[in-house]
Structure 1
């Protein structure tokens, strides 16, 4: 896979657009140097202005890719032959995220929101994108079946069973692919091996659509040019607020280091997903290496509460 950016820059300027003078900003990134990130930010800003500004780009569904959000690079993972096969970053709300193109990863949310849904106030795609919401203790909903990755009752339980049936049908329709299924707090995660599909490719988009991955996840895969899987809990599920700052702009500050320490301590007794089962051919050696990394991080067989 391509190296992920190590350096980030933000270019601010007031631009003259048809609607008047508008203050704009554009993010730039580079795996080479800070200067190269600043150059990239200037070029993205110029492209944004030349396209007519964010309003015009939003109308064409093209604005978000130029607003790729900075993420701190925590670790790179290499194959025994020395090829970069995955990287772990920290996203804007502080969770560790696996980035890889070694296998397809699909997140599938259940349609009905759980009682602790944490995107209140923002709602929909943007609310989930920016990760804003209420804080709430994991202990507060001790008996919630979602905490254990279980079907539950009523509509939520029926949606769980329907999703598993759909996954089973996908496995039957694609016997050449390996599929590992996990239950997350709000749905399912699938690690699909043997596809050879680059993130953002038509094949990838078709497979993600077949699996029922949501609009945001599919967009993030295309923007970041990797499949992504959250490896650590969402902070508001631990009773913590998401950090006010994120990425390399906060690295090394006392405020950021304290937040990370509090977050790590609060994460000690929870898991991210529960392993349900697998189907299809065995993964390749590289795919297996990434699967093992994922499973260690998410504590897939720990029996701990899901966050």
Structure 2
């Protein structure tokens, strides 16, 4: 797993002449550094990366000037930049029938992500994240856009079939123009036109409300169909992989699946096949493969909590500049002036988060040849996961 314990940031301004140019130019380069040994080593790494980028810039290369605080992806190649909250190891016993290449102990690292939620990172227990948006585009490709959606899924409809309300609108516009011409020609009262417009708007409003309600009902029916669809996909998988055993959970915006029958690495062909079969979230797949671990959110997203959206007891955004990120005192990097505000936010968030669950358990799907007993280390991880996510408690999903 690529989760360093220590992080630092270094920013430096250079004034030099690039190769092939007579113009003296300034360039400011910012890089992160990381280490498992010390903060000083992390800062030294950051300075080394700045120096390397400067040398490449001097040689005429097109470099990224500043590394932004973005989600982790295959393009930037930076390890998971999150403070570590907790670590645990479960040892696999000699009696466990595991893949020989993956028989190392199961390591868990709990981190705090960029919006404040706690996240489990595990090295060799396969966790698959599936979004409703991806499932809708697969199950109803003619109704939903293929791109990932955030929040409410929007129906696209057929491109060459205008809705009934659009037809009615154009008819009413033509009638309004004709009525206005008659009123002007006959010198009648314009109240006739105002009355017509009032009635037309009322009809259109009623029709729009009706269509909106029907669309919401269709969307809800489609969302309700996803759980049986996901169960069916899992059943199809275990028919082909008869030794497989998969545990299914529902999350606020999709599903989570944990493999119980064996340990896996994110780069394994079997994991890639499972990702594809279940239509796993592409960003999650890329993150697992780059960071060499599987991830699962344990606590609520702040913007789904009533304390944020309704009562205003907590701000939506976690205050920036975490204390664990060291800055070079010799440059102009912003020092963490929000440490107290951040600590207060996190304390309140952790308290409120106990009122929500991250997912709830649906079912376990076993293949015909799956063993009755799950390897002990995997069982221990699942028990820990279910407790941390408050899976079995009657709490709202967030």
Q: TM-score, normalised by structure 1?
A: 0.75
Q: Does 1:33 align with 2:100?
A: no
Q: Does the Cα contact within 8 Å between 1:110 and 1:160 map onto a contact in 2? A: no
Aligned partner of 1:72 among 83, 94, 115: 83
Q: Does 1:258 align with 2:344?
A: yes
Alignment of 1:263-282 (within 5 A): 263-280=349-366, 281=370, 282=373
Alignment of 1:40-55 (within 5 A): 40-45=45-50, 50=56, 52-54=62-64
* Offset at residue 285 of structure 1 (A): 1.3
Specify the structure having the higher radius of gyration (Cα). Answer: 2
Q: Does 1:300 align with 2:375?
A: no
More strand by share: 1
The number of equivalent residue pairs is: 268
Q: Distance in 2 between matches of 1:65 and 1:245?
A: 22
* Offset at residue 165 of structure 1 (A): 2.0
The 3-state SS of whatever aligns with 2:235 is: helix
* Offset at residue 304 of structure 1 (A): 1.1
Q: Does the Cα contact within 8 Å between 1:89 and 1:97 map onto a contact in 2? A: yes
Match of 2:108 in 1: 86
Aligned partner of 1:166 among 227, 233, 241: 233
Quick one: structure 1 residues 21 and 101, their matched pair in 2 at CA, closer, same or farther if it must change by over 3 Å?
A: same
* Offset at residue 300 of structure 1 (A): 1.1
Q: Does the Cα contact within 8 Å between 1:110 and 1:163 map onto a contact in 2? A: no
Match of 2:128 in 1: 106
Quick one: structure 1 residues 35 and 299, their matched pair in 2 at CA, closer, same or farther if it must change by over 3 Å?
A: same
Q: Does 1:243 align with 2:338?
A: no
* Offset at residue 186 of structure 1 (A): 0.4
Structure 1, unmatched stretches of 5+, are 56-60, 118-150
The 3-state SS of whatever aligns with 2:120 is: strand
Quick one: structure 1 residues 43 and 265, their matched pair in 2 at CA, closer, same or farther if it must change by over 3 Å?
A: same
Q: Does the Cα contact within 8 Å between 2:106 and 2:122 map onto a contact in 1? A: no
Q: Distance in 2 between matches of 1:175 and 1:193?
A: 13
Q: Distance in 1 between matches of 2:271 and 2:13?
A: 38
The 3-state SS of whatever aligns with 2:284 is: helix
* Offset at residue 43 of structure 1 (A): 4.3
Q: Does the Cα contact within 8 Å between 1:95 and 1:231 map onto a contact in 2? A: yes
Alignment of 1:171-210 (within 5 A): 171-210=238-277
Q: TM-score, normalised by structure 2?
A: 0.59
